[in-house]
A = this chain, B = another copy of it.
Amino acid sequence: MSEIFKKHISKFVQVSDDEFEEIKKFFDSKKVVKKENLLEEGEICRHHYFVLTGLLRKFFINEKGIEQTTEFAIETWWITDNFAYENQISTEFYIQAVEKSTVLYITQEKQEKLLEEFPAMERYFRFVYQRAYAAAQKRIQFLFSLSKEEFYLQAIRNHPEFVQRVPQYLIASYLGFTPEYLSEIRKRLLS
């Protein structure tokens, strides 16, 4: 199972088999069933998750009591509430399994140690954060520039694997509209 993680690291940096055996020790793994929460609002955000199999989402409950999804994570993606994780403070987010999933996870303290001891992992995480940051900037741009309908079309175009895999009501939750509105858009697109 950890082969998935090793393969992902190897995309960015070189790590020998022996080194990887040491790196692995910093992580624990966990299986979660569909709808199980890995993180809940109000908890200290202790872990950074790497998805080995399955699909997770991150959401918060807005002032209307509606779940607003802000992120998905499929295989080989990292997910956490980064601000709360770094500062070891309580989170406003939930992280929930959309499908039965297997994750690796690490604590903030162990991650710091890992990066100090393994410069290759420092480099690996620099790439991970750099890409995640670029993607978040793109998301902010789209939130300002695209209409809701364009946003949905963009999602279909750029991430067809998500749109097929994720239940419609969660896509609506990610795009920031009601399932009814999404259903209307879909009807309009099909006609």
Residues of A at the B interface (CB closer than 8 Å) are 60, 62-63, 68, 70-71, 81-83, 86, 92, 115, 119, 122-123, 125-126, 129-141, 143-145, 176
Contacts and interface: CB of A to CB of B under 8 A. Distances in A.
A137 B95 CA distance: 14
Given A81-B137, A82-B134, A137-B82, A145 B115 contact: no
6 contacts: A71-B137, A82-B134, A83-B137, A119-B122, A122-B126, A133-B136
Copies in the complex: 2
A68 B144 contact: yes
Contacts of A63: 145
Contacts of A136: 133, 136-137, 139-140
A130 B143 CA distance: 22
A126 B86 CA distance: 13
B129 A176 contact: no
